[in-house]
Amino acid sequence: MKSTFLKPVKDNELFFDLYTIPGITEFRLKKLLTVFRTPAAIFQAQPEELVSISGIELKTAQAIVSYHRSAETERRIQAARASGVRAISYLDQDFPENLKNLPHMPPVLFVRGKIIDSDRLAVAIVGTRRPSHYGVRIAEYLGSELARSRVTVISGLARGVDTCAQQATLKAGGRTIAVLGSGIDVIYPPENRKLAEEIVQQGALVTEFPPGTEPMAMNFPKRNRIVSGLARAVIAVEAGEKSGVLNTCAWAKEQKRPVFAIPGRIGDERSIGTNRLIKEGAKILTAVGDVLEYLGMAVQEKVEQKLTLNEPERSLLELISTEPLHIDEICETSGLPMQELLSLLFQMEVRGLIKQLPGKFFVRA
């Protein structure tokens, strides 16, 4: 008996069907694709052809041959189609270049948004879900500066550092890719649904998990290998002793991606993990230029862009001179809200444009 479907189907939509078949694991799917190349060819195969492949048992072969798409699967596929979700395999041309030929590569990714050639120049920003105020500022600084340098930011859409970095990237007009630990239609945490929609417009959501997959704890260590794999380097902002950030960095090491870490204060529980990474060989990151320098050829293209000022920064630089100016006076003269001002001053300080003196005074560097 041949597999049957409720309606005519597009070839790559058959990946949705394959994942509903009992016995189809990531390992077996990769084996099947290696031989048959497309999901349509898998469904058209005879049982004896399927069982001839190492790892494919008769029970699994029979399930493929007798498969009938359910109304629920049809509903999920229609919803995915309506929201622009597509499935791509490692054999497809638009499969992310940075993931190809990596060990433990996912055979299929579900994608919403666009992955483009320039996304090969990408850096992952990861960190605790409960960052300090300093951690928030660092994540925002890195996201915005990488965006201005036209480097794609990879992260996991998690609370905390991930959210701060990806929001800052979007605000600066950059591209970002969010790697989910759930189905493409299950945004977690739910409060990041709006952010997810914004990312679709300036990047992509990607996941190896089929639609409908809930964000179970076991999914995230697996997700982390894609976060590091999509990037050319990984930056750890803040991480506790048992943070998932350490798992991402372990994957990066296996994938031969360099790890950069923000040094933290001794005794700060949010810095135990990042300080340990440095002790174990991670590169210390003190400015975004450290990672841009690692990217090699890209650095020369970034220098002029890196020094570009947006309008608020330009106004502040004109206001702040070589004479110390108190933050209250800067706030009053500039008319900027204090929180926005603090963020801008911090970014300008890290970029070497201004210096902070004791007593919250600022001068031009």
**Pairing relationship of beta strands 152-155 and 354-357 according to DSSP bridges:** unpaired
pTM for this prediction: 0.81
**Residue 307: pLDDT over 90:** no
| pLDDT value of position 60 | 95
**Residue 220: pLDDT over 70:** yes
- Structural contact between residues 260 and 281, judged by C-beta atoms closer than 8 angstroms: no
| pLDDT value of position 218 | 96
Q: Which residues contact 326 (CB under 8 A, 6 or more apart)?
A: 359, 360, 361, 362
Asked, as a colleague might, if the bond just before 211 is cis with ω within 30 of 0, I would say: no
**Residue 297: pLDDT over 90:** no
- Give residue 256's pLDDT band: very low, low, confident or very high (50, 70, 90): very high
- Give residue 50's pLDDT band: very low, low, confident or very high (50, 70, 90): very high
**Residue 299: pLDDT over 70:** no
Stronger pLDDT, 5 or 106, i.e. the higher one = 106
- pLDDT tens for 341-354 read 999 999 888 877 88
| pLDDT value of position 211 | 92
Q: Which of 46-50, 253-257, 300-304 has the lowest mean pLDDT?
A: 300-304
- Give residue 306's pLDDT band: very low, low, confident or very high (50, 70, 90): very low
**Section 120-130 average pLDDT:** 97
Q: Which two tokens stand for residue 80?
A: 């995915």
Domains annotated on the chain, with CATH: 1-82 (1.10.150.20), 112-305 (3.40.50.450), 309-364 (1.10.10.10)
Q: How many other C-beta atoms lie within 10 A of the C-beta of residue 169?
A: 31
- Give residue 304's pLDDT band: very low, low, confident or very high (50, 70, 90): very low
Tokens 């991670």 locate to 282
**Pairing relationship of beta strands 325-326 and 361-364 according to DSSP bridges:** antiparallel
- pLDDT tens for 161-215 read 999 999 999 999 999 999 999 999 999 999 999 999 999 999 999 999 999 999 9
**Residue 9: pLDDT over 60:** no
- pLDDT tens for 62-118 read 999 999 999 999 999 999 999 999 999 999 999 999 999 898 899 999 999 999 999
Q: Which of 129-138, 291-300, 311-320 has the lowest mean pLDDT?
A: 291-300
